[in-house]
Structure 1
């Protein structure tokens, strides 16, 4: 079977790839083998170095397993190193029970806190003294909380032991020399034997207890310190000896014939006994109490300040911070209990965003720490991220501490900025006003003026640059007055505003025909403001308005007389027509034919309709003229609305409409004219009935609001466009469905006028094809 050239090429490429991969694997294996040989060589060197070192490492893992060389087992007297730390005590060799328990506690503490430890142990049955230094193992050595313990052999030679024995003997001999020193000490001193009985006291002790001699004190075991909390002085000394540690306490004791405060110390002296001494600190206690009272008073006073104050001691720890300081830097209440260091305080303030933004915070923090060594107070301004501006004063104290004062100056800076803004605003306002303004000092000199002040008087602006006196200004403008005698009136207004603190005004006419009105106003800063306004046009307009007002008053009187006359002229003939029609209907002129009865009914119906229209026109006209009489009374809203709705039952039944009246007694009552309000609500209801198609629905809802009552009349009729609604509210003609003009709609304008006459408001929303909603708001 012959292969194509393409297959041969692919086969060749595949063989080449296999060859390259094999070569790469061989090279990689050689590299790994070389690295393994280097690693084994390094491990052997390190192991040899550890075996030859004076210290032996022991790795204690988190589960108690241990790893170490067998050389350590030889130091501990074991045949081989066990697998766990608890197995280092075999009962016959290894560590003692106490040393092993102490080592286990130290290992657990290091695993939890990463704190190193040191200790000394002596293996069972051995004279070796081994020193242990433990620390948390590096993650590269062992992970998971392992501890590395280094063991050192500090066994002393026989010569060293002899030297220590000789030193001990010399120390015992020196003890006798100390007896003389103790005797000469000005403070009471004593020595107790192993049985805690007094064996030696000095003369100061004898004088303090009032004894005759030291022998008497020793014989009678006279104690200087009384029993405190049920423990005698001998019992306290026994505790010091048992725990091999000095005990210091402050007690009250009778020294001679006075009660004094003593600082008593019991010092264990090995196996020999316990020594003790008492220092009279009565004066020191009094000074301490006075200092505490002074410090409490000082801190109470600092808490009343509006600025923040904090005190740091010589160890840079926060010892006190008043309320404003904690509020400014948002320190928690626990800050004073923890007494954080100065650097920690800065970290807490930075976390609360109460420090300025700096590029290198650690360096800046170290720079601030240098305040403790400063030789003079340091003052800085700190702008905080929230636009707060702090004034910081650092006062180094002689004892190495620091007093830090923080003052929030944000309000002062804001007030300063506001003042500058107000000054600029005042200047811009002065220059932008139409009035001409000038401010005069109590001495009569000009302080401020706007741009229009020189122009209105026709005086060059350069004249005011020297802040002229008011007399100089009056001399300059007197030739521009139509009557120069008015010069005195302007001066009197300025004097009254600056000296008498009274406001006055006046008006002058210039020679060019202009009329200026001026007024003096006293200012709160003691200056006086002179305002000048050109009222030439307003004077002319005022005269024209007076003439027009007279004409309007005459027209209003004519309108009133016309309305009174029209009310009579309209109602009188209409009443006569209605009266004659009723007489005809009653048969006074004889029996009427059926057709005649229909004519009479039509006449009466037209008379009633025309009466309603005339009354609506007159009420609307009187309302617009402000002459509509309103006689208010308490009107129960539910009863009133029910009556208005029932009066239109025939119209509702004629069109088969459904009227839904929603409301109850909670709607309350309103103060209104029952007749006029009934006409307003009736007109709205009539419009809803007329606009709703047969079988439609009308909703009348009553509700109470905080500001008054509300009546809603809603229908599902054809609705109106916004333009149609506007014309309807204005009383214009409404176009019918056939394009012809319909009747003039006076119901809505009259209803609005009547509701507004009651102090209410009418709102109408209408949408074409959806319906109309009228809302009546009554106070």
Structure 2
């Protein structure tokens, strides 16, 4: 049995060795087995040395080998653990360096002057890093940023989309400049690296932005030049450009065809000229920077004589010109000239007066009968006068009948130029003739006037008398008094208003009465030192120049008359009298009222200056003594006395505030409020206002949130009044703000203006009261912690107006109130400006 057990033990040992080779952990475990455990597995030599055989010797050797292997494995594991820990420490150090490097790269990418868009593959989602400045107008959100059409100009957005498509599909790099909706310039660079597409948007500095704008302007100008060249190449008129030496540098296709060139390039290369040498020299001599050359030039085109209407403009680096073929027009003009000459010869032999006017209403033809009818001199007719000018001259020479409204009559006569029908009219001439005027318009413009004599002298006198009667009826119905005297001082006509104003009868003022009789009848109504004696001298004067006269007379009856002496034709004189009694009385009443208001204003100013001292001084004493009673040096006071003192102090302060507000408003109304303009540091002003509002905020259990840029700068204004504006608005907001809420004060600059808003979350202002919030003694007692006199916002409105600013209120019931105020900086240097 023992001999058979040895191999079994040997196989068992070999199996243990195999297991030790497969895992060192088994050897480590065996190394921890106590020696007594070997005795239990059939190794009695450990207990009894005498029981020792060869098989047992082999088993012992195997056990010793296993134990040695276990020790070696344990040592190897300890060494490996140390190496693994060293490698782990090294990996952690490398990872920390990599993370630090990634943070540094992200900080560089996140610069506010650039933004990078990365696409993973053709259809991958875009990753966006960094930000662009807010003034560029670029959206901050990734989705809105990729919608380029919303914040870039249309042409820039189209170019960018095309460039990005080529970058992602064909891996084609690009460098372009785009323009935002706000007019800011961005540089966009597209690159491909490692299978990723990168687009970097960079906000340019001033120099690079100017260069980019110049590039954009260059592209725009090149596009415009190309469009103009395409347009000029499409027209049939020859167009050319020359340099400073007169050489052709560009021509269109029509020019090339005119000089029989295969292309415009051949025409410029061979310097083929469409104009002769003399014509080119004439154009160069006459064309200036202010006035281009414009004239007709004769030349040869395709072997035929042609007439060109040439326009040539001079520029800084040369000139440019254009030619219009007017050969057919010149031929038609010559034929028309021959036809008109033939017709003129025919019409000149007619006895009927005829005049022909062109489309510009200038006289182009007249026959001898026309000149004899109107007795016009030849130089005037040959000057081709305008039709309107001709009628005005005939009227000034009294060759046309007098019209009640000359302008309307003339416009009706000249309406033939705007009509296709023939007009016929009867003209009653002052010389006794009645002309039938036939006015026929030409289809191409202009008109022909034909005059026929249709009446005798008797008919003309009848119509003339009728016209005089109409004029007499018109004068009789005027409200102004009118009297017309002849050069002999006798009355020609008068109207009822004249007789009523002066209180004379129709018998006294009958036609033919002498002015002395009129003067005697009117002498009882006015002061004789002046008046009708002056009228008599002017009416009967023999001076060549008869002046006019205007003035005012006051009658004993209280009437005030405005008179005018107007010289008429035929040495006649017209007197007019207008009753101005009501106007004079109203003027006198207004003058007296104005004097009374000025005196009242002076009394008000004196009152304001007196009360300003008499009211403030007692209140200041009350507040001072109240504060003195609170000090321990006066002596102890009980709790009720302390409460009474606090009430007195609070009420006195409120009363002083109301008095100051009333006096400020009275000072503004009196026009004696002065603004002490000075240079104000707005940041210091806000700090001072927030400090003064501390007690009021604590009392109302409200906080003040001030939002403003880092540096608001300076403002030229009245610091005391500006501080009052802020405190009044903030106090009003704190009064209506609920407990535990915040009043928001936002300040910013718009140019040189200082703008701020004050918002609360109180009960708001009803719509029916919103229109009257700036009125005096207007207050909203509902929802406020204190009820005031309603003067705060009135003072704000007045002080803002003195600074030439404006203030508005936006409020909704239950949603709070927002007050917006704008204070412009004074233009003048710090000085004292008086309120008007």
Same fold (TM over 0.5): no
**TM-score category, normalised to shorter length:** 0.3 to 0.5
Q: TM-score, normalised by structure 1?
A: 0.41
Q: TM-score, normalised by structure 2?
A: 0.39
